[in-house]
């Protein structure tokens, strides 16, 4: 995707099977466009149209899953276009302005961040400087995907951007914080993965048994990573985190 800030005035539709409609507002990663996309998806959700099953927003598009025998496709498009014509222009809204600021504690390096040294070496920095830069950033949550609760974040400082591993790991522990190219993210579940692991959070980011399975953040929020030591990491595991 392109990373520029050009305007786009028209919607584009793509069919996704008999009961899916992909609505595209653009074709780039851009905070203003993402904000407009989330707002349009929310406005549509609030219409509570009979037959709409789920609305899933992404960077610059959202997927509408619906029952075709209940909701006419033409009616759905008309509703979306009416809402789009009345949507506010979010102009220069800053990341996180419409959402919450969320702190994520991270224990950097050691067993929790086995790739911290390679990230530092790749960028010609000391490990402490990588930690300082990473924990100084504000990271807007564009969307959730890949795995339940996995946040797609913007805002990584280019000074610590580092390519993925040549060979992915077969197991990445839940809570691992990593860097891949110009992105940073958190693995909410244990899984294979090729991101460079620089730390780990003790928070449980996804719990399918909870009323809110992803309790700490949602698209539109902004994250800040807070460095903690091993002792604090273990305390949070036992007692929970209070910012």
- Chain segment 126-176, per-residue pLDDT in tens: 999 999 999 999 999 999 988 899 999 999 999 999 999 999 999 999 999
| 218 and 113 part of one domain | yes
Residue 122 has φ and ψ, to the nearest 5°, of -60, -35
User: Range of 19's domain?
Assistant: 12-85
| 176 and 228 part of one domain | yes
- Chain segment 18-57, per-residue pLDDT in tens: 899 999 999 888 888 998 999 999 999 999 999 999 999 9
Q: Provide DSSP, 126-183.
A: -HHHHHHHHTT--EEEEEE-SSTT-EEE----GGG-BPPPSS-EEEE-TTEEEEEBTE
| 125 and 219 part of one domain | yes
Does the pLDDT of residue 178 top 50, yes or no?
A: yes
Number of folded domains that form the chain: 2
| 152 and 201 part of one domain | yes
pLDDT at residue 91, as a whole number? 45
Q: Confidence band (pLDDT; 50, 70, 90) for 9?
A: low
| 138 and 78 part of one domain | no
**Residue 94 forms part of a structural domain:** no
* Greater pLDDT, 243 or 219: 219
Under DSSP, the state recorded for 28 is B
pLDDT at residue 2, as a whole number? 37
For residue 145, what are the contacts with CB-CB under 8 A and spacing of at least 6? 58, 152
Domain boundary at 37, 53, 85, which?
A: 85
Give the C-alpha separation, 202 to 204, whole Å: 7
Angle at 199 between CA 205 and CA 99, to 5 degrees: 45
User: Which ranges in the chain belong to alpha helices (H)?
Assistant: 31-47, 73-85, 116-123, 127-134, 230-239
| 76 and 177 part of one domain | no
For residue 116, what are the contacts with CB-CB under 8 A and spacing of at least 6? 108, 109, 127, 130, 131, 197, 198, 199
**Residue 215 forms part of a structural domain:** yes
pLDDT at residue 30, as a whole number? 86
Q: Confidence band (pLDDT; 50, 70, 90) for 243?
A: low
Does the pLDDT of residue 63 top 90, yes or no?
A: yes
pLDDT at residue 7, as a whole number? 41
Please choose, from the candidates 4, 62, 64, the residue with its C-alpha nearest in 3D space to the C-alpha of residue 31. 4
- Chain segment 207-241, per-residue pLDDT in tens: 999 999 999 999 999 999 999 999 999 999 999 88
pLDDT at residue 3, as a whole number? 34
**Residue 91 forms part of a structural domain:** no
Residue 199: which CATH number? Answer: 2.40.100.10
pLDDT at residue 86, as a whole number? 81
pLDDT at residue 98, as a whole number? 56
- How many CB atoms neighbour CB 110 within 10 A? 12
């Amino acid at each position: 995707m392109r990373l520029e800030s050009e305007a786009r005035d028209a919607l584009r539709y793509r069919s996704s099977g008999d009961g899916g409609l992909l609505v595209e507002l653009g074709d780039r990663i851009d905070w203003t466009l993402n904000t407009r996309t989330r707002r349009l998806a929310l406005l549509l959700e609030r219409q509570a149209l009979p037959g709409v099953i789920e609305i899933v927003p992404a960077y610059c598009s959202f997927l509408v899953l619906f029952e075709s025998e209940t909701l006419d496709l033409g009616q759905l498009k008309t509703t979306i276009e009416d809402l789009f014509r009345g949507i506010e222009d979010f102009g220069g809204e800053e990341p996180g302005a419409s959402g919450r600021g969320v702190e994520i504690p991270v224990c950097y390096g050691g067993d929790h961040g086995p790739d911290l040294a390679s990230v530092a070496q790749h960028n010609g920095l000391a490990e402490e400087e990588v930690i300082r830069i990473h924990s100084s950033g504000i990271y807007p949550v564009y969307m959730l995907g890949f795995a339940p609760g996995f946040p797609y974040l913007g805002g990584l400082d280019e000074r610590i951007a580092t390519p993925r591993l040549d060979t992915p790991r077969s197991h990445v522990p839940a809570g691992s914080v990593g860097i891949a190219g110009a992105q940073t993210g958190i693995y909410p579940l244990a899984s294979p993965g090729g991101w460079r692991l620089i730390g780990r959070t003790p928070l449980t980011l996804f719990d399918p048994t909870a009323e809110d399975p992803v309790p700490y953040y949602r698209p539109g929020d902004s994250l800040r990573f807070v460095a903690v030591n091993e002792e604090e990491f273990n305390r949070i595991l036992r007692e929970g985190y209070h910012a």
